[in-house]
Structure 1
Amino acid sequence: MKLSTAISLLAGAAPLVSAAAAPRLERKMNYDGYKAYSIATHHNPAAIKAKLTRFAAIPFNLDNDEHLDIAIPAEEVAAFEALGLETQLMHEDLGADIAEEGTFAPYTSVGAQAVPSLTWFNSYHAYADHITFFNDLQASFPNASEIFTIGKSFQGRDIFGIHIWGSGGKGSKPAIYFHGTVHAREWISAKVVEYITYHLLTQYATDAAVRAIRDKFDFYILPVVNPDGFVYTQTNDRLWRKNRQTRSGQSCVGTDQNRNWNYQWSVTGGASTSPCSETYKGLAAGDTPEIRALTAFTTTLKNSRGIRLYIDWHSYGQYILLPYGYDCSARASNHAAQSSLASGMATRIRQSYGTTFTTGPSCSTLYKTTGSAPDYMTAVGGATYAWTIELRPAGSSGGGFVLPATQILPSSIEQWEGIKYVLAQV
């Protein structure tokens, strides 16, 4: 899709439509030879977009004021580079990097006989293996965890999670609530929440700090809340973002699940009404089966022991984003406490590998979002803290969504250190 088409669909200021959002159904997308660049916008992204209208560019990021990350087809690279824009190269050959990232290590079930090996985090894996990994992990700790499902995706897949508890017994403490892989192409998010899950279970008996936080909270961790989209990224299009919902009378597929929650859904400027957009909000708030199921489960947690901390794990950019996204002047009632806690987490993350995370309210720090999960969790779900964490890499380098498998463990380790700090404070 030419960027001129994307801009006309979204009235200029809205996020660009990626070719990944085009109505190609089951066609296999080939990114061989594409080069990806991060373009400095100097706070004038509209001027850069205007220069790109003649290219079949695929945008990676959405309305970032400082840089625009895009992929350019091989046959247009020379003309693009002739523009003389200030760029950093993200992928020399996007297709080759996708192929390398998608070389999945095999996973063989260990059942209840042994805890899965940490080698799980040396590679990305097929969706079915994620299910097996969680079943194996839970089977190793049957008296402190259980697998649960909250409903079905549009294509009928289970939306599953794991519930972990400590000495107080099942369901006796406030909830820590994590979502991963809301946006299908953000593979690293599943790995990070899996690493946290792994260590919550395996270190309880030997680490006093882990034991303290397990005894203080019940954990509800859903690693892949967009299973249809996630599977599609592994079979057809690595850069697919949305779910795979079809709608009568619409040729384009999918709704952005992080624009479909029933809080400030109707506010303009933070989502798109175009079905072909990557930020398509749907026809009505909560009209995707995945968000209906997640909303019902959130209500159950709220009405039980309450939600102390919610985190929506995403990539990329290295941000810890606080409420709110729908209005750049809106703040949570406990904003000062949230800001202090996020800053402390960023400091703890940095101690592992020197990775820097930016903190601040979602709208004013990054861009406007409406119908988002953290806004809903704050205003409706009653969560004391509700954040989006955008994982590695920073936007200007490192691969964007296609993060090398060698980055899985460092990303996971630094987040584990950060979340231990947070859980000790809340």
Structure 2
Amino acid sequence: MATKRDGTKATTKKAVWWDGGIHAREWISPATVIYIAYNLLSKYGQDPTITHLVDQFDYYILPVFNVDGYAYTWAKDRLWRKTRSKTSVPLCYGADPNRNWDYHWCESGASSDPCADTFCGEKAFSEIETAQVAKFITNQQGTIVHYINFHSYSQLWMSPWSYTTLIPPQFKLQDDGSIQAITALTAVHGTRYQHGTIAQIIYAASGSTADWTYGTANVTFSYGVELRDTGCIFWIGE
């Protein structure tokens, strides 16, 4: 889904990318992304803040990143995480699409075991989902300035790096963005999010979306966001 002020004309506007459902069982993330898209479309011209944001940026929104895995959680296994591709091991399917990106691929926090939930894939970008999104972002390079990969759960607003606990050169700028976001969330909903780098506040996760979009695609404001809540695992609102 692309949201633009005027899709018939060439634009020099910068762009935002948001996606949900990279991990199949995290149902609240596609729902959140769809809700955001709905508000951008339905409240343009009515809500001054939304109107300003849509006038300022183009939006690329992918509600369900891992479509096959997501469908499988509805049909067979509610807690399925990975994609559904075949692997070299019979009866072990899929790779973790948030370990499959070609940036410090399959190092810390990723597994080379096809049966593991954090299996990094047979190679970087082995999964059609990650390969196609990376291709799109590469083709838009220089245009996309903000990326959020929505997950659940734990209420965390995180920036690179995820492959190491070392701090990236632009961490202060990235973390300031995190602080602004979580302050706004607290003001509206009363929810409290932690902030920091992925590897420092949750765990190492090499080959992640946020690391690739920052380290390769040069999107400074790249984030992995863990949505609500802090204790009900993946069944929030069900």
Both proteins in one fold, TM over 0.5 = yes
Alignment partners' CA distance in 2, 1:279 and 1:262:
15
Alignment partners' CA distance in 1, 2:224 and 2:118:
16
Q: Is the 8 A contact 1:307 1:384 kept in 2?
A: no
Q: Does 1:200 align with 2:40?
A: yes
Name which of 401, 404, 409 aligns with 2:234. 401
* Aligned CA distance change for structure 1 residues 295 and 306 (closer, same or farther; 3 Å): same
Tell me the residue number matched to 1:271. 110
CA-to-aligned-CA distance 1:359-413 (integer Å, 9 cap, x gap): 001101110010000000001111120000000011xx2x2101124xxxxxxxx
* Aligned CA distance change for structure 1 residues 171 and 229 (closer, same or farther; 3 Å): farther
Q: Is the 8 A contact 2:156 2:226 kept in 1?
A: yes
Q: Which amino acid aligns with 1:296?
A: K
Q: Is the 8 A contact 1:306 1:383 kept in 2?
A: no
CA-to-aligned-CA distance 1:138-194 (integer Å, 9 cap, x gap): xxxxxxxxxxxxxxxxxxxxxxxx101125846531110011100000000011111
* Aligned CA distance change for structure 1 residues 353 and 249 (closer, same or farther; 3 Å): closer
Instruction: Using CA pairs under 8 Å that are at least 6 residues apart, name the structure with larger relative contact order, 1 or 2.
Output: 2
SS of structure 2 residue aligned to 1:390: strand
CA-to-aligned-CA distance 1:72-91 (integer Å, 9 cap, x gap): xxxxxxxxxxxxxxxxxxxx
Q: Is the 8 A contact 1:378 1:386 kept in 2?
A: yes
Deviation at 1:344, TM superposition (A): 1.5
**Number of residue pairs matched by the alignment:** 237
Using structure 1 for the length normalisation, give the TM-score: 0.54
Q: Does 1:181 align with 2:21?
A: yes
Alignment partners' CA distance in 1, 2:101 and 2:148:
15
Deviation at 1:249, TM superposition (A): 4.1
Tell me the residue number matched to 1:386. 222
Tell me the residue number matched to 2:158. 321
CA-to-aligned-CA distance 1:327-364 (integer Å, 9 cap, x gap): 10132x22111111211111110112311100001101
Alignment partners' CA distance in 1, 2:80 and 2:10:
37
Q: Which amino acid aligns with 2:120?
A: K
Q: How does 1:30-49 map to 2 (within 5 A)?
A: none
Tell me the residue number matched to 2:93. 253
Alignment partners' CA distance in 1, 2:189 and 2:40:
21
Q: Is the 8 A contact 1:245 1:254 kept in 2?
A: yes
Tell me the residue number matched to 2:4. 165
Tell me the residue number matched to 1:23. none
CA-to-aligned-CA distance 1:26-59 (integer Å, 9 cap, x gap): xxxxxxxxxxxxxxxxxxxxxxxxxxxxxxxxxx
Q: Is the 8 A contact 1:270 1:370 kept in 2?
A: yes
Q: Is the 8 A contact 1:317 1:391 kept in 2?
A: yes
Q: Does 1:290 align with 2:129?
A: yes
| Cα RMSD, aligned residues only | 1.4
CA-to-aligned-CA distance 1:244-287 (integer Å, 9 cap, x gap): 011244431110000000000042x2101111110000111111
| Rg (Cα) greater in structure | 1
Q: Which amino acid aligns with 1:327?
A: T
Alignment partners' CA distance in 2, 1:185 and 1:251:
19
* Aligned CA distance change for structure 1 residues 252 and 318 (closer, same or farther; 3 Å): same
Deviation at 1:298, TM superposition (A): 1.1
Q: How does 1:359-370 map to 2 (within 5 A)?
A: 359-370=195-206
SS of structure 2 residue aligned to 1:214: helix
Name which of 177, 182, 203 aligns with 1:346. 182
Deviation at 1:307, TM superposition (A): 1.3
Alignment partners' CA distance in 2, 1:387 and 1:170:
28
Using structure 2 for the length normalisation, give the TM-score: 0.95
* Aligned CA distance change for structure 1 residues 273 and 346 (closer, same or farther; 3 Å): same
Alignment partners' CA distance in 1, 2:124 and 2:140:
20
Q: Is the 8 A contact 2:100 2:106 kept in 1?
A: no
Q: Which amino acid aligns with 1:301?
A: Q
Q: Does 1:311 align with 2:151?
A: no
Q: How does 1:1-400 map to 2 (within 5 A)?
A: 162-166=1-5, 169=9, 171-267=11-107, 269-302=108-141, 305-331=142-168, 333-394=169-230, 397=231, 399-400=232-233
Q: Is the 8 A contact 1:165 1:171 kept in 2?
A: no
Alignment partners' CA distance in 2, 1:270 and 1:167:
42
Q: Which amino acid aligns with 2:73?
A: T
Alignment partners' CA distance in 1, 2:176 and 2:170:
10
CA-to-aligned-CA distance 1:63-112 (integer Å, 9 cap, x gap): xxxxxxxxxxxxxxxxxxxxxxxxxxxxxxxxxxxxxxxxxxxxxxxxxx
* Aligned CA distance change for structure 1 residues 192 and 249 (closer, same or farther; 3 Å): closer
SS of structure 1 residue aligned to 2:98: helix
Alignment partners' CA distance in 1, 2:210 and 2:77:
27
Mind listing any 5+ residue stretches in structure 2 that lack a counterpart? none
